[in-house]
Amino acid sequence: MSIMNIEDGRGRHFDPDVYDALLSMEHEFFRIAEENSKGIK
């Protein structure tokens, strides 16, 4: 599920506080993805 899908459901399907917390950590998800994709072709 992408961030955009979660954003579309903010306040309807997803708790706004949980969404805001997730979004505030978005940079960490990118860092983890980059760190774990090293060596994968």
The residue length of the chain stands at 41
Name the residue range of residue 32's domain.
3-37
Query: How much is the pLDDT for 24?
Result: 92
Residue 31 main-chain phi, psi, to 5 deg: -65, -45
Number of domains, the chain: 1
Residue 7 neighbours by CB under 8 Å, 6+ apart = 19, 23
Q: What is the DSSP letter of 1?
A: -
pTM of the model: 0.54
Which tops the pLDDT comparison, 41 or 33?
33
Look-up of token digits 């309807």: 12
Burial class (CB in 10 A: 0-12, 13-18, 19+), 39: exposed
Query: How much is the pLDDT for 41?
Result: 63
